[in-house]
Structure 1
């Protein structure tokens, strides 16, 4: 009887009053101890209110029902098809909605609807995957900032592939604890590409020089990343990512050896040659010309790099035996490059040789890194 009077009343009531009454009816349906027939009548009234011509009334209904798991399903499904002010509160909160229903909206909905889905209190791995795959950058950014989003590794990788050049997405990914190292390396490369596209850089640096600088910086960052963050399975994953993306070059391997990262070299040779880890380590420990030649040939490396790689492996063995294990990495790298350069000068005299030039660039970069470390220590001592 009360519901019947309510339905009769809303025919002539002002919009504001109808909105207030709608909100009250929805709360009564959810939280009051109604008899079964009263519950059914109230649900019928809520369904009828979906046809109210005033958006304010439907908004009131959406806000009242949005967060409840007990909201009538047919009402919720109708509300999410309404105009954005009505649909968005429901999409952002309703536990009644299924992932499949939300996935459809990620593909075909408006931007506010997509962002509302990405901001839900809980975003399942399957829904996160859909957002990462087809969602716009704004929705992906909202999802990355949402602590309730459950992101699988493959979704993180897809986000990096699609939007790694977008600063806000890239920074959100890089700030995530435990981000897999191969994804982190992908983002480093995309950051380098983005920097290379800056108009200021393009104005003062030629295309060829810019490409070389970006590649050099990315290679350096990759080797640093491998040294500091990649161990065991993480290192294997990084190497596989580099191989599949065409980045596992002789430059990376030589730079890694110069920095004393033999583990990166071993993992790379295992990946490139299909030899066992034990077999590769035996060749590395031997470091004879025949062993290194056989290993590099199996890995598909040019014979041009053999003297440099052999020299690096021998220098690593000698320095590892002679130096204190606590010696700073920059100092170790400086001694490595000096040794390799001295050996390399005896093999090739051409100053323009690209490998020789590469080693000279390493020497310059390492010297600057060592100087920065010394300056930082000096500043710490003065501050104390």
Structure 2
């Protein structure tokens, strides 16, 4: 009887009063000890309220039912098909909804609904995978910031592939604890590509020069990244990513050696030659022209690069014997590249001009890095 009077009343009641009454009825349905017939009547009334022409009434219904596992399923399914303001609170919270229903919503609905899915208290790996595949960048960013999202590594990788150039997504990915190193390297490349497309850069730097700067910057960042990873599985993962993406070049290897990162060289040559790590490290410890040339040939590296690699390994062993690990990285790298360049005094520039140019660029970059480090140290001393 009470529900019948309610249905009669809402036909003429003001919108604001209808919204208040709708919320009260929904709470009564969920939390009051109603008789079975009263419960059924209340459910019927809630279903009828789905047709109320005022969105504020339907919003009140959505907010009242959104968090309850006991909300009528047919009402919930109708609410999520309503306008975004009505659907969003239900999509964001309702435990009644199945993953399959949420996946369909991610694929078919606008960004605001995708963001509602991404903000749910708990998101399964399967739903995260669907989000990573089809959701917009804003929704993926919300999901990355959600501690209840169970995002698998392959989903993180897919997000990086799709939106690594978007600053907000890139920052959210980098904030993920334990982000795999191959994804971090992918983000470095995408950041460089995004910087190349800036109108200011294109206005003042030629296309060829942009490409050269981009490659140098990415190679340098990759070598720096390799210094920060562990020398086990993480280094192997980085090398395999570089190999599969076509980035494991002679430039990277020579740059890594110039910086003193022999572990990167060992992991790379182990991957490229299928020789054991023990054999590669033996070559590093006691390099010779014949062995290094054969190693480069087996790895598919131009034999023209072999002298630079040989010189790098010899310089590394000399410096390691003399200084160990006492020198700062930039100073060690400066001494390395100076010794390597000194070994080419007897080689005509027209024979290895591109390699000499590469080494000279390294020398310039390393000298600037060393100067910056010294400047920072002087500032600290002065401040103290």
- Give a deviation string over 1:117-145, Cα, whole Å, max 9, x none: 11222222221111111111221122223
Count of aligned pairs between the two proteins: 384
More displaced, 117-126 or 374-383? 117-126
Task: Give the Cα–Cα distance (whole angstroms) in 1 for the partners of residues 8 and 199 of structure 2.
Answer: 67
| Distance in 2 of aligned mates of 1:136 and 1:230 | 34
Structure 1 match to 2:5:
5
Question: How far has the Cα of 1:230 moved from its partner?
Answer: 4.5
Instruction: After the TM superposition, list the runs of 4 or more consecutive aligned residues in structure 1 that deviate by more than 6 angstroms.
Output: none
Deviates more, 1:269-278 or 1:326-335: 269-278
Equivalent residues in 2 for 1:1-384 (5 A)?
Answer: 1-350=1-350, 353-384=353-384
Question: Which whole-Å CA distance do the structure 2 matches of 1:197 and 1:18 have between them?
Answer: 54
Tell me how far apart the structure 2 counterparts of residues 17 and 252 of structure 1 sit (CA, whole Å).
Answer: 70
| Alignment partners' CA distance in 2, 1:308 and 1:284 | 13
Tell me the distance in 2 between the aligned counterparts of 1:235 and 1:283.
Answer: 19
Root-mean-square deviation (CA, aligned residues, Å) is 1.6
Q: Is the 8 A contact 1:181 1:230 kept in 2?
A: no
1:352, distance to aligned residue in structure 2 (A): 6.8
Cα distance, 1:224 vs. partner? 0.5
User: Whole-Å Cα distance in 2 between the matches of residues 56 and 195 of structure 1?
Assistant: 45
Q: Determine helix, strand or coil for the equivalent of 2:343.
A: helix
Q: How far did 1:51 drift?
A: 2.3
Q: Which moved more, 1:258-267 or 1:42-51?
A: 42-51
1:43 Cα deviation from its structure 2 partner: 1.8
* Paired residues of 1:230 and 1:238 also in contact (CA < 8 A): no
Structure 1 gap ranges (5+): none
- Which shows bigger deviation, 93-102 or 277-286? 277-286
Instruction: Determine the C-alpha separation between the residues in 1 that align with 2:310 and 2:37.
Output: 87
Deviations 1:19-60 (A, max 9, x none): 211110100111112233322322222122222233222111
Q: In the superposition, relative to structure 1, how do residues 228 and 140 fare at CA in structure 2: closer, same or farther (>3 Å)?
A: same
Cα offset for 1:365? 0.9
Q: Distance in 2 between matches of 1:323 and 1:172?
A: 40
In structure 1, how many angstroms separate the alpha carbons of the residues matched to 2:101 and 2:350? 66
SS in 2 for 1:218: helix
- Give yes or no for contact 1:91–1:116 (8 Å, CA) kept in 2: yes
Q: Structure 1 CA distance, aligned partners of 2:53 and 2:228?
A: 62
How far 1:351 sits from its partner (Å)?
8.4
TM-score by length of 1: 0.96
Offset of 1:176 from its aligned partner?
2.7
Report the TM-score when normalising by structure 2: 0.96
Distance (Å, rounded) in 2 between the aligned partners of 1:62 and 1:36 = 23
Cα distance in 2 for residues equivalent to 1:39 and 1:116: 30
Ranges in structure 2 where 5+ consecutive residues have no aligned partner: none
- Give the C-alpha shift of residue 177 in structure 1: 2.9
Once residues 332 and 110 of structure 1 are traced to their aligned partners in structure 2, the CA distance between those partners, rounded to angstroms, is 54
Say which is worse superposed, 255-264 or 106-115, in terms of deviation.
106-115
What is the alpha-carbon distance in structure 2 between the residues aligned to residue 292 and residue 351 of structure 1?
Answer: 19
Q: What per-residue deviation string (whole Å, max 9, x for no partner) do you get for residues 42-80 of structure 1?
A: 222212222223322211111100111221111111110
1:279 CA drift (Å): 2.5
Measure, in 1, the Cα distance between the counterparts of 2:230 and 2:171.
20
